């Protein structure tokens, strides 16, 4: 594994799809010939993206789109999928527009097309990069088989505020984990060949800093130093582009008082000049139109001018480009060369995908029926769902439950529902989804009795507890209890911020009463949610907690696999779970401050009423087995600036089951010219160990891993003292020190 993405500026990030310079040039020449035949209006048409109907059967519902397509006023249609639908629309473009330029079909395929994998935050909890790449590969295969060319993924917004509902779409709070996952996702989506019919073009989003919205409130202001932007929020974008990600989507937010969709520093300076990105930039949905609401444009023309001049190539759904750009060119406010550049990038993408050779190459009924929701894809979704689950607590070894239990009370609003897919579920269908109830029946057999009661709802604000008594009656009859609690799919999504991130509705009351009633009967609590929750009270009373996130189409089977011990949980948290909302933003790689907790009892950076530490830290997760870490050995204690230091230690499975341990290496630069975090994840290894088995793990601490941005925003490394921590989470492990001379 490359431990840390290259974060140097002024180094080209590579070509879209990683094609060779020769191939890039050849496609460019093909495009240039076409461009010479195009009118200004046709070029602007390529820069216009409109929403299609999601209806996959029958002709396109929106006849206005068809008319615009025929007159060359549309370059791309999103929310367009299904072979029949896309073929008919493509015919309008290819058969009826003057130059017959094919359309580009985009769709949000975020964690599966029809076979839905766990939500991205859950996938990140697996820390299994090959598994993530494979899941992403499958979603591309399915999407491409349904006529889609381009997905708006990966979403790489680093997020330290779980109130923000879109944390479910990303990889959490850490820059390295997010960057490595971004790379894996781009590889999975794009494969190695852009015009292969089972791959898609990727779109890294939302550029940039969308995850830092103030107070976690959706679309809210972002204000941060350029240092923080470049050090913590941009590297995952850069990593995705180095991996060949073909396109970039702008974000809705402002960054330091300028909306990202017309941000010269982000779009022109960093993306184009420093990184040399040659691919296409699309806006987020109506983001150009929103420049008026932000208050930086008086009208459509000003909004279009600002965004196109900053470097936007395609307008998603505002229609401001198509409505105003030709006039702006005529009156000299936008240079025609800028239009040529933008249209060229759109056409280049179409050429790279092979659409000029065969505009229907992705529209194949046979593939559409054969490649979607196959048994193999379902198996992969089940495996990944198992790998994503995080065992948060297991007092008295309540888990795994014995399969001797034949009377299981399944209590709670998530026990018997297919709403386990999460948001951004593309064409995912609840009818395909295995509920937890079905999963337990599949596991225990038809003879087992599953006593099901919802007890209460998980609706925000609901206080109705009248169903609890019936649930308790079932608890009294059962020999094991599974409490299935959590959020609804709609609670963590776009435009789904929550100020209180506890269990919604009266679920805590249900848990309290069930746990009190159960006595000696084992109770396992399974959580389904799209963000870190505040679980402090639940943690106080529940002996066993399994975080299952939204596990996808095979969710119920996967949870049963883990509950009954067929699979040993190995997920590790990609985001801190706070004790209370008052700690937010909370993240493990914080600064020490000048008065850290523990030095002076009063004058310290601390709360009077709650601890500083989260309830469950970043990187944390238990297993049904135990692991022991030996002492860290280092080749030497002093190295030169350009040297790599090898450190190693032995990890042993000291329990009685096979298990997977994620061994995490954190580094602290103790004194530097700018303040460095108390620890930063710099590498990790996922080990599979049989009972009694030991493995020696070696990490190489390279100069790149020790580098950081100095006050002048240059990437440097400096001599001095470093601390290495290796352990099973950000809050545990052995430490050693070394010095760079
Ligand atoms: C979201 C994007 C998404 C786009 C198209 C927007 O509302 O922010 O992430 O790709 O819609 O569906």
Q: Spot the catalytic one: 68, 157, 284, 315.
A: 284
Substitution site in 284, 317, 496, 497 for ligand 1 pocket (most atoms within 8 Å of beta carbon): 284
Q: Is 284 a catalytic residue?
A: yes
Distance in angstroms (rounded) separating the CA atoms of residues 339 and 359? 24
**Strand order through the sheet with 449-453:** 390-394, 544-547, 523-528, 480-486, 407-411, 449-453
Q: What is the pLDDT of residue 11?
A: 83
Structure tokens at 98: 């003057």
- Segments of the chain with pLDDT less than 70: 1-10, 54-63
Question: 104-107 and 76-78 as β-strands: parallel, antiparallel, unpaired?
Answer: parallel
Per-residue pLDDT, 589: 98
pLDDT score of 64: 78
Would you state the structure tokens that stand for residue 660, as one six-digit string?
């997977």
Cα Rg, the chain, nearest whole Å: 26
Q: How many secondary structure helices (H) and strands (E) does the chain include? A: 20, 27
Beta bridge partners of 653: 627
Q: Are 519 and 477 in contact (CB under 8 A)?
A: no
Give the Å distance between the CA of 316 and the centre of ligand 1.
9
What single-letter DSSP state applies at residue 281? Answer: E
H, E, C per residue of 468-523:
HHHHHHHHHHCCEEEEEEECCHHHCCCCCCCCCCCCCCCHHHHHHHHHHHHCCCCE
- H helices of 233-289, in order, are 235-242
Nearest-CA residue for ligand 1 atom 5 is 285
Nearest CA to ligand 1 atom 11: 285
The dihedral region occupied by 529, where left means phi > 0, alpha psi between -120 and 50, and beta the remainder, is beta
Residue to mutate (ligand 1; options 108, 189, 496; most atoms within 8 A of CB): 108
Q: Could you tell me the distance, in angstroms and rounded to a whole number, from the CA of residue 283 to the centre of ligand 1?
A: 9
pTM, rounded to two decimals: 0.97
Distances (CA, A) of 296 to 185, 286, 290, 349: 35, 15, 9, 31
357 neighbors 194 (Cβ within 8 angstroms): no
Q: How many CB atoms lie within 10 A of CB 740?
A: 20
Cβ atoms 484, 415 nearer than 8 A:
yes
* Pocket flag, ligand 1, residue 284 (CB < 6 Å): yes
Q: What's the 3-state SS for 146-198?
A: CCCCEECCCECCCCCCCCCHHHHHCCCCCHHHHHHHHHHHHHHHHCCCCCCCC
CA distance 431 to 421: 11
Cβ contacts of 142 within 8 Å, gap of 6 or more: 109, 112, 113, 114, 115, 371, 372, 373, 377
In whole angstroms, give the CA distance from residue 567 to residue 258. Answer: 49
Is residue 494 lining ligand 1, measured as CB closer than 6 Å? yes
Going by C-beta distance under 8 Å and a sequence separation of 6 or more, which residues neighbour residue 317?
49, 50, 51, 78, 285, 286, 289
- pLDDT of 327: 98
Q: Cβ(169) to ligand 1 under 6 A?
A: no
Q: What pLDDT does residue 7 have? A: 45
What's the confidence (pLDDT) of residue 1? 40
pLDDT at 54: 54
Atom 12 in ligand 1: residue holding the nearest Cα: 108
Q: How far apart are CA 343 and CA 441, in angstroms?
A: 55
Residue-wise over 687-726: b if at least 16 C-beta within 10 A, else e? bebeeeeeeebebebbebbbbbbeeeeebebbeeebebbb
Ligand 1 contacts CB of residue 108 (under 6 A): yes
Pocket mutation for ligand 1, best pick of 111, 285, 290, 495 (most atoms within 8 Å of C-beta) = 285
């Amino acid at each position: 594994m490359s431990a840390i993405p290259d974060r140097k500026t002024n180094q080209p990030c590579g070509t879209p799809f990683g094609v060779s310079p020769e191939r890039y040039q050849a496609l460019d020449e093909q495009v240039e010939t076409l461009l010479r035949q195009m009118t200004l209006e046709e070029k602007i048409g390529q820069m216009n993206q409109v929403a299609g109907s999601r209806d996959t059967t029958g002709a396109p519902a929106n006849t206005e789109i068809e008319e615009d397509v025929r007159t060359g006023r549309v370059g791309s249609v999103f929310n367009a999928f299904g072979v029949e639908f896309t073929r008919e629309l493509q015919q309008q473009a290819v058969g009826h527009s003057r130059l017959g330029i094919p359309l580009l079909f985009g769709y949000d395929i975020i964690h599966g097309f029809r076979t839905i994998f766990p939500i991205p935050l859950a996938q990140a909890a697996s820390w299994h990069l090959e598994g993530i790449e494979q899941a992403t590969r499958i979603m591309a295969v399915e999407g491409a088989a349904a006529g889609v060319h381009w997905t708006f993924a990966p979403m790489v917004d680093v997020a330290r505020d779980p109130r923000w509902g879109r944390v479910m779409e990303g990889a959490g709070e850490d820059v390295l984990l997010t960057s490595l996952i971004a790379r894996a996702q781009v590889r999975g989506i794009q494969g190695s060949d852009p015009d292969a019919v089972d791959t898609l073009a990727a779109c890294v989003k939302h550029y940039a800093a969308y995850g830092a919205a103030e107070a976690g409130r959706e679309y809210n202001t972002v204000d941060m130093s350029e240092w923080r932007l470049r050090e913590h929020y941009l590297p995952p974008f850069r990593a995705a582009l180095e991996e060949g990600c073909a396109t970039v989507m702008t974000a809705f937010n402002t960054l330091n008082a300028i909306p990202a969709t017309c941000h010269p520093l982000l779009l022109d300076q960093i993306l184009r000049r420093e990184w040399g990105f040659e691919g296409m930039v699309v806006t987020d949905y109506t983001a150009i139109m929103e420049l008026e609401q932000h208050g930086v444009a008086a009208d459509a023309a000003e909004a279009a001018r600002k965004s196109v001049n900053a470097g936007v190539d395609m307008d998603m759904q505002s229609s401001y480009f198509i409505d105003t750009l030709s006039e702006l060119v005529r009156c000299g406010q936008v240079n025609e060369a800028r239009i040529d550049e933008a249209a060229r990038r759109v056409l280049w993408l179409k050429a790279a995908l092979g659409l000029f050779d065969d505009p229907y190459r992705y529209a194949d009924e046979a593939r559409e029926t054969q490649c979607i929701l196959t048994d193999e894809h379902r198996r992969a979704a089940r495996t990944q769902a198992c790998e994503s689950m995080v065992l948060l607590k297991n007092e008295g070894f309540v888990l795994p439950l014995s399969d001797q239990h034949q009377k299981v009370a399944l209590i709670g609003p998530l026990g018997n529902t297919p709403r386990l897919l999460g948001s951004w579920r593309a064409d995912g269908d609840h009818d395909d989804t295995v509920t937890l109830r079905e999963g337990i029946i599949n596991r225990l057999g038809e003879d087992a009795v599953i006593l099901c009661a919802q007890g209460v709802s998980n609706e925000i604000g609901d206080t109705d507890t009248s169903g609890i008594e019936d649930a308790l009656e079932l608890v009294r009859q059962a020999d094991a209890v599974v409490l299935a609690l959590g959020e609804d799919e709609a609670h963590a999504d776009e435009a789904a911020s929550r100020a209180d991130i506890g269990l919604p509705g009266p679920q805590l009351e249900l848990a309290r009463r069930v746990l009190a009633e159960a006595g000696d009967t084992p109770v396992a609590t399974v959580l389904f949610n799209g963000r870190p929750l505040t679980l402090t009270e639940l943690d106080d009373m529940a002996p066993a907690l399994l975080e299952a996130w939204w596990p996808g189409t095979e969710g119920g089977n996967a949870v049963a696999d883990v509950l009954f011990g067929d699979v040993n949980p190995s997920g590790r948290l990609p985001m801190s779970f706070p004790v209370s909302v008052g700690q937010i933003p909370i993240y493990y790689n914080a600064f020490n401050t000048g008065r850290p907790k523990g030095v002076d009892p009063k004058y310290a950076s601390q709360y009077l009423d709650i601890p500083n530490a989260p309830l469950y830290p970043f990187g944390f997760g238990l297993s049904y087995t135990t692991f022991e870490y030996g002492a860290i050995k280092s080749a030497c204690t002093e190295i030169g600036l350009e040297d790599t230091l090898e450190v190693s230690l032995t990890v042993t499975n000291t329990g009685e089951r096979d298990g997977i341990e994620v061994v995490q290496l954190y580094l602290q630069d103790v004194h530097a010219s700018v303040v460095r975090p108390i620890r930063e994840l710099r590498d990790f290894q996922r080990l599979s160990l049989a009972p009694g088995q030991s493995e020696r793990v070696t990490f190489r601490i390279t100069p790149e891993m020790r580098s950081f941005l100095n006050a002048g925003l240059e990437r440097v490394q400096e001599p001095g003292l470093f601390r290495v921590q290796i352990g099973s989470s950000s809050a545990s492990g052995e430490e050693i020190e070394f010095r760079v001379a």
